[in-house]
Amino acid sequence: MAASKRSRLRTPTAVVALVGAVALAAVALLGPAVWGSTADTTTVADRMLGPSAAHPFGTDELGRDLFARVMVAARLSLVLTLGATAITMAGGVVLGLVASVLPRVARRLVTGFMDILLAFPWLLLVLFFSAIWGASAVGAMLAIGFAGVPSIARLVYTMSSSLSGRDFVRAARVAGVGPLGVLGRHVLPNIRGPLLVNTAATASVTLLSFAGLSFLGLGVQAPDYDWGRLLREGIARIYLNPMAAIGPGLAIVLAGLVFTLASEALASRRGHGLRTIGRLAKAAAGIPSGDVEPSAPERARPVAEVRGLRVAFPDGDGGLVERVRGVDLTVAPGETVGIVGESGSGKSLTAMALAGLLAPPAVVTAAARTFDGIDLSRPLSRADAARVGAGLGMIFQDPLTSLNPALTIGRQLTEVPEVHLGMSRAQARERATEALRVVSIPEPERRLRRYPHEFSGGMRQRAMIGMALTASPRLLIADEPTTALDVTVQRQVMAVLRRAQRDSGAAIVFISHDIALVSAFCDRVVVMKDGLVVEELDAGRIRQDAQHPYTRALVACLPDMSSDRSRPLPVIAGDGSTA
Amino acid sequence: MNALEIDDVTVRYRRELAVDGVSLAVPQGRTVGLVGESGSGKSSIANAVVGLVRPASGDIRVGGASVVGRGAAVTQARRRTQLIFQDPFSALDPLMPVGASIAEATRATGRRWSREAKAARVRELLGQVHIDPARADELPAAFSGGQRQRITIARALAGEPSVLIADEVTSALDVSVQGAVLNLLRELQRDLGLSILFISHNLAVVRYISDEICVMRHGRIVEAGETEALLRDPADGYTRELLRAVPVLGRRMEFEDA
Amino acid sequence: MAVSPLARSATGDGTPSPARPRGRAAGPALSPRLAFLLRRLGRLAVSLAVVVVATFLIVHLVPGDPVRAALGPSATPELVAATRAELGLDQPVLQQFTDYVAGLLRGDFGVSIRTQRPVGETIAQRFPSTLTLAVLAFVVTVIGALPIGVAAAISARSGRHGVVDGVVSSVLGVLIAIPSFLLAVGLIAVFSVSLGLLPVAGWGQPQHLVLPVVTLALGPMAYLARIVQVEMFTVLDSTYMTTARSKRLPARLVYRRHALPNIVTASLTVGGLILSGLTAATVLVEMVFAIPGLGEVTVAAVSGKDYPMIQGVVLVYALTVLGVNLVVDLILITVDPRSSIAEG
């Protein structure tokens, strides 16, 4: 554990960034002393030389050594960069924080103005400010510094106003902490990390833009020189001596890289980038799932079955964490199975594995994993895909995110009939209309042309159920389908689900954290805890039949409409029993 | 004597009418449950009471003194209310040790606290909510959801309120943790004589903890009364619908009307 | 405790009203798209005003005497006074501003201090090259970025090509970080100096366009590809993609129909920013490749303190940016059903 923490703090990126920063600082501090005289020595005989051992980058038109000039220019380039970065960050932080505590009208004026400025390319802002302060080193520093203010101000404003909406800030305000106190005590400490990252990133951009401005002749003026100015002089002679341009170019790229790496090193301590996700995905791929043994034909073939199901995720240190640890679950045709458990019990993962929908980075292994006799652990043939696609319906917790926001309801409901049942568009539309009617959505023809965001929460959930009904569902998997809904709407959705089941004869796997709801809707209840099935019970006799202490505790600690109000609720102890 | 009186309060967000002429009272030492679905305006009432939102009209009185508007008297009266939040993960500053968060809330008492007195008070409060006082220097990340909710309760108590507003305090918690938080609230009420406005969408939870219940819908109170009486014989159709929608363990849900 | 007598019982018939508003909203309801359009047009009007005022103010914000600064220390007091009168700087500020706006409305941008030619004429002459360059670069950017970004996301998510993913990601990162003028130096060094394939500078022939356009496009292309990749990643992780996968649709249908439309908004918004960025980035690239566009005029005007010219070019760049934004907004309204909602 200690080792892994240390390795995270000393990533290669961080090491390179640190070494680079030290090197830059050294060159900036010592450069003029070490190379100063060489850089200014004019030798007419050595004019316009190409690269050689004595002059790695060649010489300029006065015979001065270009390598020495690049090293000496580091100080001015970096000082100007830091100056402009300081202006940008100070201006941005002050403006952003002030904007976040202004009264509403003033706040909207300020942020509206920031947004307008942000619409303009940054270079245009720099040119505007350059026109005001003139083509000089200080003018360019001011121009670049001020041009960066709007974007940092916007960032700070966004971060601090999102923090202001958080409950801990509201609690501080209720306790009587004033706006400035809130900024100092809660907002600033919480945005310090992102600000550091952005300071480094801003420094990188600033360095490059300084070079650009000097390159245009609008920055540092002769006889002073920074990297951009050397580049400008070099490019005029690029045919004679490419190194005259490439040398200062390299210096700019390397210095920019140091700032960028510093920013990345700071950022990587605070979350995972794309690369991490890719790496995790890779860790998960290629782990084989177990061989399938056909289940014993003791009763009617189950509509879905998993045996010895294990689901694991990479833990970030190269290992795997098992979240489902050997679960057997069989769903008979037409039955209603409830899975109940608290957060982290593995109930949702079990359902997703049952539907064959877990993708990397999840690592799924099972002795058997079938849907309607089809092995889900291998790639599906076209015919099998059609059977699974037509026979399986999914209903998720948040109906807004489970419907595609960019497609009409009609498009999403006609897909399965068109693709898997070979229906024409008109037939599929007819089928979708019928499905919406079954789930009690009024005016189904008109509603098919609507987008999900135009539906209410309960109606979206019913549309999801309708989607399953467009084909010939054998199994509906409903994962907390009513948790995001009000109880009265929950009741309506449950009614629709029940009717859909009666009409289609599909089995239902109903997942919820609410043991009362599960018992009121299902035939059979599977209680899960920590990735294991604790107990399976007849839904109507949970109170009487529950043996396992965890199930008994779950039942006991749930207040219902008949709980004794004069006594404290039983509480589940760490070992799963009531205390 | 009423600890909290909400008198014909209307809350408006720009064009939207969130609370529409609501009146209710929390008697001294009692718990009043406010139940309603999303968008019914119950959280707006909570925000109005603690001064995070200013009512468009109406008056709110704590211990007889108005908490609407500005001024020393209002600030004084407002200090007697404290709010507990729904999400224990966003309710604590992730970079502030929990003890410091609680200490910060002692400002609401309006008294000056010496460093030692503050530290002692933080230890006392943590003990009251059954958190080891030795952990005061740890960050919120070191605590579980249920523990964090208990810490936010300790923070609310640091303000020495006479009225606690609990806004969906158990909604984000697992059932097993919910019981402990509910028990704690009841225990604190008994020991400290607190008056509590308990806001939730969960009728069973509200029933368990409240002496009286107000049912809210579309910004108005549709029905109110003593808990047992109201639930035994609900007069309003919406209350009946709510009651019918609560699932009961082991009893099959009937949908004959749906 | 009061119980409102107005409270009505719920219907409970399973038909909630569509998109039930929270509480009761007062006032007339605009069509969300129309409201979005009006908001954006309002912002455009304000932006326009900001641009006009800002360009007008350039002369007045210059520390010291702008005319003396423009003409240099050797200019005679008579010349300074004459130029001041010519620029109208001897008038009251308000008068100057109304004259400025009236001139703009007539298409009169004033006369350059340096060349004594009308600013509008110079801009009309130079702007087409700049616009050609920016638009070509934009087309190349989009054509390159979309497939790269989508492929990178799908590949990274499958987790099967770790090394390729790493290389692509690094190359994109480097391309984003390198500024265009440095890229130009590298490209010239390789393709013009070493290989002698392409001309180092010039204008008028198709081969003159290749290096400038590539220089301009590479960075934005990498950036847009990165955005597309990130967006695609979010989309692939979303619940509605799980829904689509649960239907066992053919993979191409899943990606084309369900994933692509959801990255349009973000890609378009970034695309608009890129196009406006490109119009300004031409300044640097035109300087490197000696292209007779607006960039050279801009740099000469800024270093020569030719204020009427500066006002003119800044105005033209800014108007181009606003035009691009307007076009992006119009496209967003047509293609994205939610653009109105996203802003709340």
Residues 6+ apart with CB under 8 A from B256: none
Residue C178 Cα, gap to closest chain A Cα (Å)? 7
Does A166 contact B at CB distance below 8 Å? yes
Total-model pTM: 0.78
Nearest CA in chain A to B251: A520
Domain boundary among B141, B160, B179: B160
Do B171 and B234 lie in one domain? The reply is yes
| Cβ pair A51, A57 in contact under 8 A | yes
What confidence score (pLDDT) does residue B113 get?
87
Q: Which residue has the higher pLDDT, C73 or B187?
A: B187
Residue A2, pLDDT above cutoff 50: no
| Partner-chain residue, chosen from A284, A361, A402, that has the shortest CB–CB distance to C240 | A402
Closest-CA residue to A129 (of A119, A121, A139) = A139
- Cβ(B128)–Cβ(B157) below 8 Å: yes
Q: Is A85 on the interface with C (CB under 8 A)?
A: no
Q: Considering only CB atoms, which chain C residues are within 8 Å of A473?
A: none
- A453: amino acid identity, one letter: H
Q: What is the mean pLDDT of residues A419-440?
A: 88
The reply to whether B75 and B166 lie within a common domain is yes
Between the alpha carbon of residue C331 and those of residues B28, C325, C337, the distances in Å are: 60, 10, 11
Which of B218, B230, B240, B241 has the highest number of chain C CBs within 10 A, making it the mutation to test binding with C? B218
The answer, for A244 touching chain C at a CB cutoff of 8 Å, is: no
Q: How far is CA A381 from CA A286, A384, A386, B95, in A?
A: 20, 5, 9, 53
**Considering the domain boundaries, does residue B255 fall inside one?**
no
- A554: which chain B residues are within 8 Å (Cβ-Cβ)? 175-176
**Contact across the interface for A360 and C157, Cβ inside 8 Å:** yes
Q: What is the DSSP letter of A345?
A: S
What is the interface pTM, i.e. ipTM, of the complex? 0.81
Q: Are residues B168 and B216 in the same domain?
A: yes
Strand partners, A535: A527
- State both tokens at B202: 């969960």
Would you tell me which residues 142-201 of chain B have a C-beta closer than 8 angstroms to some C-beta of chain A? 152, 155-156, 158-159, 174-176, 178-180, 182-183, 186-187, 201
Please indicate, yes or no, if residue B85 is contained in any of the structural domains: no
The CB-side HSE value for C88 (13 A sphere, CA atoms) comes to 16
Cβ(B241)–Cβ(C10) under 8 Å? yes
More confident residue, A1 or B203: B203
Residues of chain B positioned with their CB less than 8 A from the CB of C6: 220
A499 contacts chain B (CB < 8 A): yes
Measured distance CA(A503)–CA(C343) in Å, rounded = 41
Cα of B198 to nearest chain C Cα, Å: 16
Neighbours of chain B (3+ CB pairs under 8 A): A, C
Give percent of chain A with pLDDT exceeding 70.
Answer: 90
pLDDT score of C29:
54
The band of A450, judged by pLDDT with boundaries at 50, 70 and 90, is confident
Using CA of residue C116, residue C309, residue C53, residue C327, what is the dihedral sign? positive
Residues B135 and B206 grouped into a single domain: no
Measure in Å the smallest separation between the Cα of A470 and chain C Cα atoms. 11
Ranges under pLDDT 50 in chain C: 1-28, 340-344
* Average pLDDT of the segment spanning B37-47: 85
Q: Give the per-residue pLDDT at C295.
A: 85
Supply the pLDDT for residue A23: 87
Residue A30: CA count within 13 A, CB half-sphere? 7
Looking at B145, B160, B175, the residue that finishes a domain is B160
What distance in Å separates residue B226's CA from the closest CA in chain C?
11
Give pLDDT, residue B7. 92
User: Domain A2-268 - what CATH class?
Assistant: mainly alpha
Q: For residue C248, is it left (φ>0), alpha (ψ between -120 and 50) or beta?
A: left
The percent of residues in chain A predicted with pLDDT above 90, rounded, is 6
- Of B160, B185, B205, which residue is a domain's last? B160
* Residues A174, B83 contacting (CB under 8 angstroms): yes
**Chain-chain contact of B247 with A486 (C-beta, under 8 angstroms):** no
Instruction: Give the largest Cα separation in chain A, rounded.
Output: 105
Q: Return the HEC string of chain C.
A: CCCCCCCCCCCCCCCCCCCCCCCEECCCCCCHHHHHHHHHHHHHHHHHHHHHHHHHHHHHHCCCCHHHHHHCCCCCHHHHHHHHHHHCCCCCHHHHHHHHHHHHHHCCCCECCCCCCEHHHHHHHHHHHHHHHHHHHHHHHHHHHHHHHHHHHHHHHHCCCHHHHHHHHHHHHHHHHCCHHHHHHHHHHHHHHHCCCCCCCCCCCHHHHHHHHHHHHHHHHHHHHHHHHHHHHHHHHCHHHHHHHHCCCCHHHHHHHHHHHHHHHHHHHHHHHHHHHHHHHHHHHHHHHCCCCHHHHHHHHHHHCCHHHHHHHHHHHHHHHHHHHHHHHHHHHHHCCCHHHHCC
Residues of B in contact with A494 (CB under 8 A): 253, 255
Of the candidates A191, A206, A192, the one whose C-alpha atom is nearest the C-alpha of residue A259 is A206
The answer to whether residue B230 is domain-embedded is yes
CA distance B37 to chain C (A): 11
Per-residue pLDDT, A284: 40
Residue A476 has pLDDT above 60, yes or no: yes
Supply the DSSP symbol for A131.
Answer: H
Shared domain for B197 and B208, answered yes or no, is yes
The verdict on residue B250 lying in a domain is no
Residue C160's pLDDT is 66
Domain that holds residue B142: 93-160
Confidence of residue B256 (pLDDT cuts 50, 70, 90): low
Q: Rounded to an integer, what distance in angstroms lies between the CA atom of residue A244 and that of residue A108?
A: 50
- Residue A300 has a pLDDT of 64
Interface contacts (A, C; CB < 8 Å): 248
Q: Which residue has the higher pLDDT, A237 or A509?
A: A509
pLDDT for B78 equals 84
Q: Please say if the pLDDT value at position A277 is more than 90.
A: no
**What would the mean pLDDT of A271-282 be, rounded to a whole number?**
41
Say whether residue C29 is in contact with chain B using an 8 A CB cutoff: no
Span A510-520, pLDDT tens digits: 999 888 888 88
Residue B251: inside a domain, yes or no?
Answer: no
Answer yes or no: do B137 and B169 share one domain.
Answer: no
| B128 and B175 within one domain | no
Question: Using omega within 30 degrees of 0 as the cis cutoff, is the peptide bond preceding A361 cis?
Answer: yes
**Partner residue opposite C20 with nearest CB, options A122, A245, A456:** A456
Q: Among partner residues C1, C10, C23, which is closest to B17 by beta-carbon distance? A: C23
**Tens digit of each residue's pLDDT (9 = 90 or more) over A344-403:** 888 889 998 888 888 777 888 888 888 888 888 888 888 888 888 888 888 888 888 888
How far apart (Å, rounded) are the C-alpha atoms in residues A47 and A59? Answer: 6
Is B181 within the bounds of a domain?
yes
Average of per-residue pLDDT across A422-439: 88
B119 vs A65: which has the higher pLDDT: B119
Q: Which of A535, A538, A506, A544 is nearest to A522 (CA)?
A: A538
- B11, pLDDT greater than 80: yes
Give the count of beta carbons closer than 10 Å to the beta carbon of residue A118: 15
Domain identity same for B145 and B191: no
Cβ atoms of C322 and C44 within 8 Å: the answer is yes
B171 and B129 share one domain: no
Any A CB within 8 A of C230 CB:
yes
Closest CA to A90 of A204, A199, A206: A199
Give me the CATH topology for the region A334-359+376-547: Rossmann fold (3.40.50)
Mutate which of B220, B239, B240 to test chain C, going by most C C-beta atoms within 10 A? B220
Please report which confidence band the pLDDT of residue A296 belongs to, taking 50, 70 and 90 as the band edges: very low
Pair (B168, B140) in one structural domain: no
Query: Residue C294 and residue C287: Cα distance in Å, rounded?
Result: 10
Q: How many separate domains does chain B show?
A: 2
For residues B173-179, give the mean pLDDT: 80
Q: Please tell me if residue C17 touches chain A, with a CB cutoff of 8 Å.
A: yes
Tokens representing residue A512 in the block: 């919820």
- Rounded to a whole number of angstroms, the distance from the CA of A333 to the nearest CA of chain B is 20
Which residue from B24, B236, B237 is facing C1, i.e. has the nearest CB?
B24
Does any domain span residue B16? yes
Residue A477 CA, distance from chain mean position: 26
Residues B38 and B22 in one domain: yes
User: For A300-352, how does the pLDDT look when each residue is reduced to its tens digit (9 = 90+)?
Assistant: 688 889 898 999 888 767 778 888 888 899 998 889 999 998 888 888 899 98
Task: Test A281 with C156 for CB contact under 8 angstroms.
Answer: yes
Is B254 inside any structural domain? no
What is chain C's Cα-based Rg? 27
Domain with CATH 3.40.50.300 in chain A: 334-359+376-547
Question: Beta strand A532-538 with A524-529: parallel, antiparallel or unpaired?
Answer: antiparallel
Q: Are residues B192 and B223 in the same domain?
A: yes
Whole-angstrom Cα distance, residue A275 to residue A497?
Answer: 41
Residue C62 to residue A134, Cβ atoms within 8 A: yes
Instruction: Give A456's DSSP letter.
Output: -
Structure-token match 């010489």, residue found: A59
What is d(CA C112, CA C41) in angstroms, rounded to the nearest whole number?
33
Instruction: Please report residues of C whose CB lies closer than 8 A to that of B240.
Output: 9
Residue A295 has pLDDT above 50, yes or no: no
Q: Which chain B residue has the Cα nearest residue C26?
A: B15
- Residues contacting C273, CB < 8 A, separation 6+: none
